[in-house]
Amino acid sequence: MKTMIEPYRSRVVEPIHMTTREQREEFIRDAHYNPFLLKAEQVIIDFVTDSGTSALSTRQWSGMLGADESFTGSRSFYRFREAAQSLLGHRHIIPCHQGRAAEHLIAHAVIKPGDVIFSNTHFATTRENFEEAGAVARDLPIPEALDPASPHPFKGNIDLNRLEGSIREAGPEHVRFVVITVTDNSHGGQPVSLANLRAAQEICRRHGIPLLLDAARFAENAYLIKLREEEARRMTAREVAQAMFHLTDGVFMSLKKDGLGNTGGLISINSDEWAEKIRIRLLVSEGVTTAGGLAGRDLESLAVAFDEALDENYLAYRIASTCALGEQLAAGGVPVLRPFGAHAIYVDGRAFCPHLPDEQLPAWSLSVALYVHGGVRSWETGNVMMGRRDKAGGRWTWPALDLLRLAIPRRVYSSNHLSYAAETLIDLFERRHEVRGLRFIYRPPVLAQFVATFEPV
Ligand code: F0G
């Protein structure tokens, strides 16, 4: 097979600071064994997130130079709205500063205490926002999503039988909405099929419940549908994305992932009543309705990105390069979650570190060891992010999967960078018994991963 090349070239470069193992041991100790608390320049390859870390294109930069920074009604907003609306198709387009702001606005504008919200899987911030507003946020992934080896092509699907049963059990009048996260970031970046979305919409419509998408990775989901679902084979990625959005009553999204923005978020919604409530909240907490806390140049950059994110040369390369990383790791024996998605490769922390019990946070400990070993920063979506302790502060409930995530910033790293990260992790796998367990020192009540501190056991 021919080498698949990056369908872009670099004209601006940022040097990487090289570090030694001894330095990294000191850096991570000073960061209390939380890779989030490292300084970015202490990292060689940064796979902590694909969020807000994309390289901007020449088209985005040239749009930004022509931006209109008027306080309200700026030309850049109307360009943004036009680009978003022609893709998403809803009546109202409301910008905001990032994904969790969109979640917060929806939570405070439309959720009432006692509401129930069902999802394939709520992302961590989504769950916190909805629960803070008094709702119960319940996940209904299909059983295959929790099996790291299952080859199911759409492990992001919502379990339709459980959705129907759970709506009946809760009473449809208590279900404020159903939200499907594309792709399912917490369970391996797995896509949701068009057939599943359509069936979920049918169930929601029958019960009079709105269906929303958390569409942070809509373009990658659309392209994975095109590759894996028969009915979409001859559609363009844009047509698939439009078909996904067409099935919904509304969408909220971070524009820092597939939106190719360094910041940004939006809510796209049909209901006039919800839009009014959301805009009032927006004025209180984010900014005017034609900016939502974003600068004109952000809106310009995002307007261009709705187009670039769905470029099929870019998406084909994105998915092929992520798969190549996954295959290299698998060939080295590393227990990786399959099938590979698009934005990240996930490693099974418990299988990598069988000598570490859940209390010693296998995937988190592995991410610290990986940083020390080769300066590669990753993120855990597992015991630290999703572990829950009962009210009395006693027993822990651990999530079904304890994963280390290597999230790949868009258009930033070359194949050699990916290969270096794979070699580092494979080398660590060969001496995996050396990975030391960690335990919490400080654990905040919510979103522990961002600020918690740890010590070696
Ligand atoms: N929804 C999903 C599916 C996400 O992955 C994220 C962020 C958000 C919502 C929140 O968006 O960061 O713009 O406020 N995920 C990042 C990550 C943090 O690394 O996966 P945000």
Say whether both 269 and 339 belong to one domain.
no
Domain end point (choices 283, 308, 333): 308
Q: For residue 13, is it within any domain?
A: no
Pair (27, 76) in one structural domain: no
DSSP state of 260: -
Q: How confident is the model at residue 332 (pLDDT cuts 50, 70, 90)?
A: very high
Helix/strand/coil for 238 = helix
* Residue of minimum CA distance from atom 8 in ligand 1: 99
Is it the case that residue 447 has pLDDT exceeding 90? Answer: no
Q: Are residues 207 and 89 in the same domain?
A: yes
Decide if 279 is inside a domain.
Answer: yes
Give the CATH number of the domain where residue 250 resides. Answer: 3.40.640.10
Mean pLDDT (the chain, rounded): 97
Is there a domain that residue 428 lies in?
yes
CB neighbour list of residue 102: distance below 8 Å, 6 or more residues apart: 96, 252, 253, 254, 265, 266, 267
CB of 254 sitting under 6 A from ligand 1: yes
| Average pLDDT of the segment spanning 69-87 | 98
pLDDT bucket at 318, cuts 50 / 70 / 90: very high
- 115 lies in the same domain as 35: no
Same domain flag for 35 and 106: no
Question: Per-residue pLDDT averaged across 319-323, rounded?
Answer: 97
Q: Are 141 and 184 in contact (CB under 8 A)?
A: yes
**Ligand 1 pocket residue status of 159, Cβ below 6 Å:** no
Q: Which helix (H) or strand (E) holds 367?
A: helix 362-374
The whole-angstrom separation of Cα 23 and Cα 13 is: 24
Q: Whose CA is nearest to atom 1 of ligand 1?
A: 123
CATH of the domain at 427: 3.90.1150.10
Domain end, chosen from 264, 292, 308, is at 308
Cα of first residue to Cα of last residue in the chain, in angstroms, is 47
Atom 9 of ligand 1, nearest CA residue: 99
**Is there a domain that residue 14 lies in?**
no
Q: Domain total for the chain?
A: 2
CA of 117 from ligand 1 middle (Å) equals 18
State whether the Cα torsion 176-182-151-417 is positive or negative.
negative
pLDDT exceeds 80 at position 393: no
Determine, yes or no, domain membership for 302: yes
267 and 316 belong to one structural domain: no
Instruction: Please give the Cα distance from 344 to 329 (Å, whole number).
Output: 13
Do residues 169 and 207 lie in contact, with contact meaning Cβ atoms separated by under 8 Å? no
- Residue 404 dihedral angles phi and psi, to the nearest 5°: -100, 135
Ligand 1 centroid–CA 257 distance in Å is 8
- Whether cis (ω within 30° of 0) applies to the bond prior to 183 is yes
pLDDT (tens digit per residue) in 83-130: 999 999 999 999 999 999 999 999 999 999 999 999 999 999 999 999
Measured CA to CA, the distance from residue 128 to residue 448 in angstroms comes to 11
342 and 239: one domain? no
Q: How far is the CA of 216 from the centre of ligand 1 (A)?
A: 7
1 within a domain of the structure (yes/no): no
Q: Say whether pLDDT at 383 is over 80.
A: yes
Structure tokens at 440: 């919490």
Q: Which of 308, 333, 351 is the last residue of a domain?
A: 308
Please check the confidence at residue 430 and state whether its pLDDT lies above 80.
Answer: yes
Q: Is 338 helix (H, G, I), strand (E, B) or coil?
A: coil
Residue 27 three-state SS: helix
Identify whether 62 is part of a domain.
yes
Q: Using one digit for the tens of pLDDT, what is the confidence trace for 205-245?
A: 999 999 999 999 999 999 999 999 999 999 999 999 999 99
Let me know if 368 is exposed, middle or buried by CB neighbors in 10 A (0-12, 13-18, 19+).
buried
Q: What is the pLDDT of residue 3?
A: 86
Q: Which ligand 1 atom sits nearest the alpha carbon of residue 256? A: 13
430 and 412 in a common domain: yes
Tens digits of residue pLDDT in 244-262:
999 999 999 999 999 999 9
Residue-level pLDDT at 363: 98
Helix (H) or strand (E) holding 116: strand 116-119
CB 68 within 8 A of CB 243: no
For residue 391, what pLDDT is reported? Answer: 78
- Per-residue pLDDT at 390 exceeds 90: no
Q: Is 125's C-beta closer than 6 angstroms to any atom of ligand 1?
A: yes
According to the model, what pLDDT value does residue 291 have? 97
Q: What is the 361 CA–ligand 1 centroid distance (Å)?
A: 22
| Ligand 1 atom 18: residue of nearest CA | 51
- 301 and 177 fall within a common domain: yes
The strand pair at 379-381 and 403-407 is best described as antiparallel
CA separation, residue 301 to residues 9, 86, 308, 440 (Å): 19, 16, 10, 40
Q: Pick the atom of ligand 1 nearest to 217's CA.
A: 3
Check whether residue 206 and residue 328 sit in a common domain: no
**Per-residue pLDDT band at 394 (split at 50, 70, 90):** confident
> pLDDT at residue 1 above 90?
no
- Binned at pLDDT 50, 70 and 90, residue 446 comes out as confident
Write out the H or E segment, with its range, that includes residue 266.
strand 265-269
Nearest to 63 by CA among 87, 82, 89, 86: 82
Residue-range definition of the domain harbouring residue 244: 58-308
pLDDT band at residue 445 using 50, 70 and 90 as cut-offs: confident
The Cα 31–Cα 450 span in angstroms is 12
Claim to verify: residue 302 and residue 409 sit in the same structural domain: no
| Domain co-membership, 44 together with 101 | no
Question: Could you tell me if residue 7 is inside a domain?
Answer: no
Evaluate: CB of 186 within 6 angstroms of ligand 1: no
Q: What are phi and psi of 51, to 5 degrees?
A: -105, 120
Please compute the mean of the pLDDT values over residues 177-201 and round it to a whole number. Answer: 97
Give the residue-averaged pLDDT of 69-85. 98
Mean pLDDT calculated for residue range 188-209? 98
